[in-house]
Chains A and B, each alone.
Chain A
């Protein structure tokens, strides 16, 4: 069995930041593995550990900087990695959903996995669409927002999953393979990479491919969707802030709570 995991390196903004043009100034951004993808990697690696002859491959669309994140996946147990990047992609501001799906589809076609794990969303642009769009493009079945997978069901050609709906309700669904599952946080407990894993990761294959290598034309990155403004949302906050040192702040809050009559003492 082969499992393909889509992995994104995301930018996270510091609490205090400045906007530069159409993005947050790079000085205030830190790059890390997307939180949802960490769970997706863990789910795949667990299946790899429990089964014979399971290969786990990760695919990332990202610049050279992202290799640190890709290596982190390899250190956690991913067997090999593909990173897609070239000058055409680098020259594009935002890859839209269709472009990402098309690039990943060409990797799926080359790798022919049984199942693809993709994070529910990326915590930078929170589009939440890549996994399902990819599934439709390659003709796989899918399930979005999976918070439990019966790993044993995969060998029978099905993914028995729970989808996390709103309001504490879960949907129990059987999905025929091949399929894309978008993985929700909390589905497992992602591991930390071990020192041994980090050492091993250095010698695992990390293959860099451009659009041409994947048989794609440069116009795949063209998009009718364009970011035209970035701004800090206006707050309608009329919050009363208690000032002072911790002791004074606590005292004012306590007084407010006592005035409301909701607490005694």
Chain B
């Protein structure tokens, strides 16, 4: 029997969805281990968040009143102390940008193993974690032979917990050594504004690494023109500076839900899919029939985009560049 402690994530006054997904993952695991599910929420409106987190399956919620926003030095100390106080066996954290900013440090301090980016969890003789490798081309199972472990859980893999809970909400007051808080959050900035809002478009022509060269961007621009559609892209195109940040679809860019999303030369990394899987109809044009994008596409052309896109432009009365 072993308890699970999951730590919620919030930012700028809002609880993030992954917090409720952690409850689902944590409840299943706690059941398999015959233990309780504890939640922690640190900083911000901790009491208010605790109310929102009080869903079916949660046994106890620990609210830590310390600071407004995430600070990893505070989180590391609070979580370490709470984990020890509860005597939990598994610490479940979000595999988010902030989750990865403190999970490894907590595991170090607790001197327990860490497995990140879990997409499935099972417990029989011990904990078994499913995670992906090689850009999602394969999945692997890793077994953890330890009484205590830290696991980070991929967002949007588990459903959000629902139903009203009857958890015992208590406050937890960790001892924070202020001298070890050596980073300061100065503020936040929204990026990717500007002339175009891709999240408003009905049809998106989205281009990825398969376009190969900056000069080839004009090919997909011509297609977007011919279809009267809006041009968007995956991350590498923006990283390379070929399109501005406001065109980026994905976890760190925009979440889009157009009627039609045409992914051209996009393999479909998990961070990209997170931003477009809600599209009504998804079309993939890619040379690799095994690319992850094919798993969520409704229609596909498995062929060279440099052959297909000019034909498509002509279909709609445009002229390929």
Q: Does A110 contact B (CB under 8 A)?
A: no
Cβ–Cβ contact B139 & A231, under 8 A: yes
Complex Cα spacing A73 to B235, Å: 24
Partner of A225, one of B12, B144, B183, B191: B144
Known: A168-B245, A253-B301. A129 touches B103 (CB 8 A): yes
**B171 contacts the other chain (CB 8 A):** no
Closest-CB distance, A30 to chain B (whole angstroms) = 11
**What is the total number of residues of chain B having a CB less than 8 Å from a CB of chain A?**
99
A24 touching B113 in the complex, CB below 8 Å, given contacts A189-B241, A240-B298: no
Contact in complex: B307, A246 (CB < 8 Å)? yes
B115 and A225 within 8 A (CB): yes
The stretch from A46-54, A158-166, A191-199 touching chain B is: A158-166
The A/B interface has a contact count, at CB < 8 Å, of 260
In the assembled complex, the Cα of A169 lies from the Cα of B185 at a distance in Å of: 13
Closest to B146 in A: A224
A114 interface contact, C-beta 8 A: no
Interface centre among B190, B288, B295, by most A CB within 10 Å? B295
| Interface window among A8-16, A82-90, A206-214 | A8-16
The residue that A263 contacts in the complex, of B235, B248, B284, B316, with Cβ under 8 A, is: B316
Assembled-state Cα–Cα distance A226/B175 (Å): 35
Check B100 against A132 for contact (C-beta < 8 Å).
yes
Residues A250 and B315 in contact, CB atoms below 8 Å apart: yes
- List, in ascending order, chain A residues with CB within 8 A of B301's CB: 241-242, 249-250, 253
Interface set, chain B 73-100, CB cutoff 8 A to A: 73, 76, 95-98, 100
Q: Is the CB of A250 within 8 A of B105?
A: no
Q: What are the interface flags for B105-117 relative to A under an 8 Å C-beta threshold, 1 for contact and 0 otherwise?
A: 1011100011111
**In terms of DSSP, what is the predominant structure of the interface of chain B?**
mixed
A218 lies within 8 A of chain B by Cβ: no
How many residues of A sit at the interface, in one of the four size bands?
Answer: 35 or more
Residue contact B190 to A168, C-beta cutoff 8 Å: yes
Query: Closest residue to A127 on the B side, CB-wise?
Result: B116
Decide if A19 touches B128 in the complex (CB within 8 Å): no
| Interface check B2, CB cutoff 8 A | no
A250 touches B235 (CB 8 A): no
- Which of A55-63, A64-72, A137-145 sits within the interface? A137-145
Contacts of A169 in B (CB 8 A): 11-12, 188-191
Q: Which residues of A contact B (CB under 8 A)?
A: 11-13, 15-17, 19, 22, 24, 96-98, 101, 120, 123-133, 135-137, 141-145, 162-176, 185-186, 189, 223-233, 235-237, 239-242, 246-247, 249-251, 253-254, 256-257, 260, 262-265
Q: What are 23 sample pairs from A and B whose C-beta atoms fall under 8 A apart?
A: A13-B135, A141-B73, A144-B72, A165-B252, A168-B245, A168-B248, A171-B187, A172-B185, A172-B189, A173-B186, A189-B241, A224-B144, A225-B145, A228-B128, A237-B296, A239-B297, A240-B299, A241-B300, A242-B299, A242-B301, A249-B303, A253-B299, A257-B260
